[in-house]
Amino acid sequence: MRMRVLIIGAGMLGASTAYHLAQLGAEVEIVDEEHQGKATLAGAGIVCPWATKADEPQWYEMYAAGARYYDTLIEGLKERGETSIGYGKVGALVVAEEEAEFDAAEERVLRRTKDVPEAGTISKLTPEEARKLFPPLREDMPAIHISGAARVDARLLAAAMLRAAVSLGATFRRDNVTLAMKDDKPVCIGSSGEVIEADEIIVTAGAWASRILQPLGLHHPVQPQKGQIVHLSLPGVATAKWPVILPMGSHYMLSFDDSRVVIGATREDSSGFDYRVTAAGEHEVLSAGLKIAPGLANATHIETRIGFRPAAPTIRPILGRVPGIQGLTVGNGLGASGLTVGPFAGKCLADLVAGKNLSASLDAYAPQGRA
């Protein structure tokens, strides 16, 4: 008899977990509520861990593994007929306003990409060479070019993984579910009061997971971190192959096939689920973007998206079985690294629940049990 697995939450992490479990032959059901502000629906992702300033060793190991796994993931989806994936290996330009910070970034990138083939070629570009690749860039900014970096449209990639899971036999439905304990095991209850049977429950509900886990007596320490992300249009300009721009701060830029340039993003802690575009948020993002790429000043504003990143108390994600509760696994807390780490972390959760050898140890990311 096949193991029946219920996955609550169909963002990047949940979709990946479902896709990989379906490949392993599990009977998978995915339940998702269409919340406003889902991080995956708002996110424009960058796969380039090698430039980050963050250096917590175990977290960085997972971050780098996420980038390394992307080639395998994309190849597998294409073999299953998925063509609308939203992924492009366009390279990245690492820039900095201060010479010392630029030199530190160059040293860090070179050190981290040594013997890392997925990072591609690393080269130092003059301001003129950098602007040939990303024309709106400021005229006085040299750059470090990382050819193996990529950009991701999160909503397209998550949808592709869900379609692939369904093609392998998984089922997907919209519902607002709750959890309860019955005979010392967690059970899932649908909005109509029906019990959804499962041998294993995996909660990958992002910023909303705390609400779902609370009835089990679990204090899940993940809070929403609001991000406001500005989308601009340059009508008639071919932006599809423009590289990602990585200044050495919390903001970034990337482009897509439809003459669209994205500037992100605010990081607003203690925001709750305030689903509003604010004047301060929009000003912050546009000011940061135009300071680096003044050539975007005449672009057309299309929209500002809002996403609530699931932010854990530390940079480490929360991944693994919940101590003391049989049949319950949690994947959460990926924060701003979610679009790089999510697909690989989903594979790890699938292997964990299916009893397979893990591609990476999850010991350092174990969730808390009941108090």
How confident is the model at residue 250, as a pLDDT?
Answer: 80
User: Which strands sit side by side in the sheet containing 318-321, from one edge to the other?
Assistant: 171-174, 27-32, 4-8, 200-203, 328-332, 318-321
Alpha-carbon dihedral of residues 59, 331, 349, 75, nearest 10 degrees?
-80
Task: Please tell me what DSSP assigns to residue 222.
Answer: -
Average pLDDT over residues 13-33: 97
Tell me if the bond preceding 265 is cis, omega within 30° of 0.
Answer: yes
Q: What is the CATH number of domain 4-41+155-222+314-365?
A: 3.50.50.60
How confident is the model at residue 1, as a pLDDT?
Answer: 64
- Please state the pTM of the whole predicted model: 0.95
Neighbours of 280 (CB within 10 A): 10
| Angstrom distance (rounded) from CA 184 to CA 113 | 48
| Residue with token string 């780490």 | 341
**Among 55, 113, 120, 50, which residue's Cα sits nearest to residue 340?**
50
34 has a pLDDT exceeding 90: no
Q: Where are the domains of the chain?
A: 4-41+155-222+314-365
| Angstrom distance (rounded) from CA 111 to CA 212 | 42
Q: Residue 183: pLDDT band by 50, 70, 90 thresholds?
A: confident
How confident is the model at residue 247, as a pLDDT?
Answer: 94
Q: Across the chain, what does the average pLDDT equal?
A: 94
| Angstrom distance (rounded) from CA 216 to CA 240 | 47
Neighbours of 2 (CB within 10 A): 11
Q: How many residues does the chain have?
A: 371
